[in-house]
Amino acid sequence: MGCTASVYAVGRRRKKPTITEVVVYVPPMRIPAQSDLQRSLKGLIPRDLVDRLACLRKQISLVAEDTGGSAMTELSRALEEYLSLVIGLTKKEHGLENLVEFKWKVLEDGRHENSVSNSWFEFLSVVHMMAILTLSEADSLMIPKDHSGSGIRVLSLDCKRDAVDLLLKAAGYLEFCVREVLVRIPADIKKGLSKDLQDGVLEAISIQALGQGTEIQLGLAVESQNATLSVKRRLACEQLIFFSQAYHRLSKCDMNHEYGKKHLWFIKWKFLEAKAAAYYYHGLILDKGSEPACHVSAVCCFLAAQELLTESKRACLSFCLAAPVTRSPPMWGAMKHLHQKIPEVASRKSQMYGYLLEEEKALQALPDLPDFQLSLRPDDYVLPEMDEAWDRERWKLPSQSLKEHLNDSEDEVETE
């Protein structure tokens, strides 16, 4: 099996490097690395159960390496099955929580990230990988494979709705990791975990998934003839709140590493886009007022939106150039519309109400954006049932105490 994995690794190195396109931000995928489950669990649980654990773990690793993580359906199915087995390792009554040294590595470069003797770490890593796969699937849906001759890329309504569902699902996985799994890992182990597994980072990615779901909803509202200005403003403001919260979580984490810096640029880019949209739609609503002060405030909103849009372009460029280099997608959704409308409206309204801006200089403060209760929430993740292979009444084990098992393991190490 080791030789097979090496072949896959060599194959990946020979591939012509490509610059990927990013719509949904996906952190680097972590996959299982080789761990000796058979030796650690020998004599403590049935051999066929140990073999299933080891084989599924190896299958997940090989499929991920062979496909670069693109075999989402196959990987998701294997991860769900594996998780139902890992649950048994976490049960205190089985006494196996700290016996196996679980190893994980980064798929892209094969760099080992963690080696931890704790079954809750394995549980966390599996659910985290499920979340990353789900984010990858959402990203794939938002990047159409077919390009029309005109260069215009069309996404179906179903693709967009499915992407929102996947983002809520991924947010649910990550929220579950923070709420139910990280709290069970001892503090000394948590300190040594990969930076991607910090609770603040997991919370931020969960929140930004909701923000990107709202971004897609705003695009759908812009394309709909029935969506009102109030609905569009609300969605833009909610998107802004999500990305503001995500940045707040990340600002408390150690992000001084390659992927961390790129992640922060992505949040800044999306935050600025959302703020530009929020001020634009807020300005349109204020401009409907009859008082001069309403028009002055509206123009302030339009000018702020234009400046924020310019900043967002710079942030997008910085994100794309930050290692690993990526391509931003062509304009889509609400921003495709707003990159044209904001400069046009800002210029027209500034000329129209220029005299009021001169007369009402005292009123030229940028108005506060309205605050809204957030609509999107992560999906509740429901764990699979523990595999029936953990039914101890069916087990047929040789009589061997844990102390004898540990002595056997030490003897094996000495004789190698």
The tokens of 387 are what?
Answer: 């595999």
Q: Which of 234, 338, 226 lies closest to 280, judged by CA?
A: 338
273 in the Ramachandran plot: left (φ > 0), alpha (ψ -120 to 50) or beta?
Answer: alpha
Assess contact for 280 and 300: CB atoms under 8 A.
no
- Percentage of residues of the chain with pLDDT beyond 70: 87
Write phi, then psi, for 177 (nearest 5 degrees). -60, -45
**Residue pLDDT, tens place only, 183-229:** 999 999 999 999 899 999 999 999 999 999 999 999 999 999 999 99
* Domain regions of the chain by residue span: 19-148+165-189
- Omega before 378 within 30 of 0, i.e. cis: no
Q: How far apart are CA 401 and CA 406, in angstroms?
A: 9
Assess contact for 357 and 299: CB atoms under 8 A.
yes
Residue with tokens 């390496």: 65
- Model pTM score: 0.88
**Predicted pLDDT at 147:** 52
**Residue pLDDT, tens place only, 299-342:** 999 999 999 999 999 999 999 999 999 988 788 889 999 999 99
**Residue pLDDT, tens place only, 259-273:** 899 999 999 999 999
Measured from the Cβ of residue 97, the count of other Cβ atoms closer than 10 Å reads: 15
List own/partner pairs for 183-186 with CB under 8 A and 24 or more apart.
184/90, 184/120, 185/118, 185/120, 185/121, 185/124, 186/118
Strand 112-116 and strand 30-33: the pairing is unpaired
Residue 360 confidence class, pLDDT cut points 50, 70, 90:
low
Assess contact for 122 and 89: CB atoms under 8 A.
yes
**Predicted pLDDT at 13:** 42
> What strand order describes the sheet that includes 102-106?
30-33, 102-106, 112-116
pLDDT exceeds cutoff 60 at 114: yes
**Residue pLDDT, tens place only, 406-415:** 555 554 444 4
Q: What is the CATH number of domain 19-148+165-189?
A: 1.25.40.280
166 vs 328, which has greater pLDDT? Answer: 166
**Residue pLDDT, tens place only, 386-404:** 999 998 877 876 655 445 5
Per-residue exposure over 75-93, b if at least 16 CB sit within 10 Å of its own CB, e if not: beebbebbbbbbbbbbeee
